[in-house]
Structure 1
Amino acid sequence: MKAGFILKPKNTIEIKDEFLKIKEIFEKYNIEVLLDAISARALGLRGVDFEDLCKSVDFIVALGGDGTLISVTRRAYKFDKPVFGINLGNLGFLTDINPDNVEEFLKKFLKGEYRIDERMVIEIVYNEKKLYAFNDVVISKDIISSMINIQIDTNESFLNTYRGDGLIISTPTGSTAYNLSAGGPVVYPLTESFIITPICPHSLTQRPLVIPSNFVLEAKVKENFSKLILDGQEIYDLNDKITIKKAQKPAKLIHRIERNYFDVLREKLHWGER
């Protein structure tokens, strides 16, 4: 069995010792560890090109925080390999395995005592190129003092023209990210829907909207100072319409069987505390 590791891109040197400890645990259970070439160079180790790594491993490990897991899941999406995160970050909505319980998890993993969650992915067609987002697609203005107008049409009809600082189109997984901070709803991550949330809308009647995932959305922006942002990580100048739809296949996340989403919400969002 082979595992491909991708490390948090920033402060990589600081997590070298942690990686080497975890690598030793994996090898103790006869799991060969391959390290992504970019991560390896930062650590002064030997690595494997990302695409070659994804093709040759049985699963992928993101060592970092939620942002690392999101980036790895998006980049590795086309290879259809399951991903799990070992949490070295702060939030941990998606990365539910900590360095201290890696060995305990691996014992269960090798006995098949784990689960794979299938999470909806967004496919974006822009300038005849297919892009993917795991959390959200954001259309944002690029000038502080200006407002943008975003027209959204569906495969059924015209939906709305949003006027304000921008628009978030989120997956249920991404509902607890930028969507939540912009006043959007929390949506159970294994449902399949689009969450459309305006950013600082010009009118208070512009409210968040949840629609089925079988809708195909087309977004048009009149202004030429707007940006297309995928998962808060990939940024493109937006100068044409984009088409947004549910991708044909889901992303696969490996989790502990014991993981309970509502426990995560209570812990991370401090629900029920006075």
Structure 2
Amino acid sequence: MGQASIGLVSRTDSAEALNIANTILRYLHEKGVKWCVEKETANVLKLHEKAVPLNEMDADVIVVIGGDGTLLRAFKNIPKASRPILGIRVGRSGFLSDIMPENALQAIEEVLKGNYQVEVRARLRVTVNDKVTDALNEALITSSRPAKVIGVKVLTDNTLIFEGWLDGVIFATTTGATGYALSANGPVVDPDLDVIVMVPINPLNLSLRPFVISINKRLSLKLVEPSPPANIIVDGYSFLNVGVKETVNIFKSPQPATFLRLHAYRRDFYEKLREIRMRMT
């Protein structure tokens, strides 16, 4: 990659993450590498002259230090989702990141040498009228009124998949299948499969189970009378509210997410899954 430029994003509520960020930035400075820092991180590190808003960060590689939430926020806000991200895991949840803190500098060195693989992950596009957003993990559609169920019908190509009353519906990517969808009794999905996992949450119809659907399908969700309005939450962030006259469309995004992976530090999917299960027991 030569003299690639590096953008850095870090959790700002973690002393460990901020220490790693400072160590990486000192290393980049010593190597003469062009770098910038996401604005909130820069403010905490008192590097105001290097601050760049995340939605304006145009570095060749973006290094994200934190858990899955920090990484999802980065993908949601960077100007180009095709911009590769290297995740360094700090925090309780780090399924999306392979690099452990003790290997951070070695990983940066390998990236600067060009010793990496690019991994492309599908995202879901969610549209309502002219409103558009993308989900790397999942889109959740749930009642905007606490303790109230919503009535929905979900279709693909104008064919009804199911109709019923429930707390909500999760539409997850293969990447997001190990997140909220898994906690809601969704299936484990091998990372080599490209699918949409649809998980009904607490349906009144007890026979309603999760669905695994080709990512090439276009899905639509409509509320049915007399359902209360629903809130769409995408990768943990509220997107918008919808009513019974609106249609939520879910399909494969034309803009996938791009990760940098290093062979020496790559963790097997099922190994990471076992680690999560052990932490939860």
1:151-190 deviation per Cα after TM superposition (whole angstroms, max 9, x unaligned):
1111151211132100000000000100001000011234
Closer, same or farther: CA 153–77 of 1 in aligned 2, 3 Å: farther
1:245 to 232, 251, 263: 251
Contact 2:169 2:200 in 1 (8 A): yes
Distance 2:105 2:45 in 1: 23
Letter paired with 2:274: R
1:21 to 20, 23, 29: 23
Percent identical pairs in the alignment equals: 29
Contact 1:122 1:133 in 2 (8 A): yes
Letter paired with 2:64: A
Residue 263 (structure 1) aligns with: 271
Distance 1:102 1:192 in 2: 30
RMSD between aligned residues? 2.2
Closer, same or farther: CA 266–79 of 1 in aligned 2, 3 Å: closer
1:96 is displaced (CA, Å) by 1.5
1:108 is displaced (CA, Å) by 2.5
The answer as to 2:240 corresponding to 1:236 is yes
Letter paired with 1:80: S
* SS of residue in 2 equivalent to 1:205: coil
Distance 2:257 2:108 in 1: 21
Greater shift, 64-73 or 258-267, is seen at: 258-267
2:179 to 177, 180, 184: 177
Greater shift, 169-178 or 142-151, is seen at: 142-151
The answer as to 2:194 corresponding to 1:192 is yes
2:211 to 205, 209, 212: 209
Letter paired with 1:19: A
Distance 1:187 1:74 in 2: 23
1:79 is displaced (CA, Å) by 4.7
Letter paired with 1:148: I
Q: How does 1:27-46 map to 2 (within 5 A)?
A: 27-46=29-48
Structure 1 unmatched ranges of 5 or more: none
Distance 2:202 2:107 in 1: 43
1:14 is displaced (CA, Å) by 7.0
Letter paired with 1:263: E
Distance 2:20 2:238 in 1: 28
How many residue pairs end up in the alignment? 270
Closer, same or farther: CA 12–103 of 1 in aligned 2, 3 Å: closer
Q: How does 1:1-274 map to 2 (within 5 A)?
A: 1-8=4-11, 10-11=12-13, 15-46=17-48, 47-53=51-57, 55=58, 57-76=59-78, 78-155=80-157, 157-222=159-224, 223-239=227-243, 240-258=246-264, 259=266, 260-270=268-278
1:99 is displaced (CA, Å) by 2.3
Closer, same or farther: CA 253–196 of 1 in aligned 2, 3 Å: same
Distance 2:242 2:181 in 1: 20
**Scaled by the length of structure 2, what TM-score is found?**
0.88
Structure 2 unmatched ranges of 5 or more: none
* SS of residue in 1 equivalent to 2:23: helix
Contact 1:82 1:116 in 2 (8 A): yes
Contact 1:83 1:253 in 2 (8 A): yes
Letter paired with 2:7: G
**Scaled by the length of structure 1, what TM-score is found?**
0.90
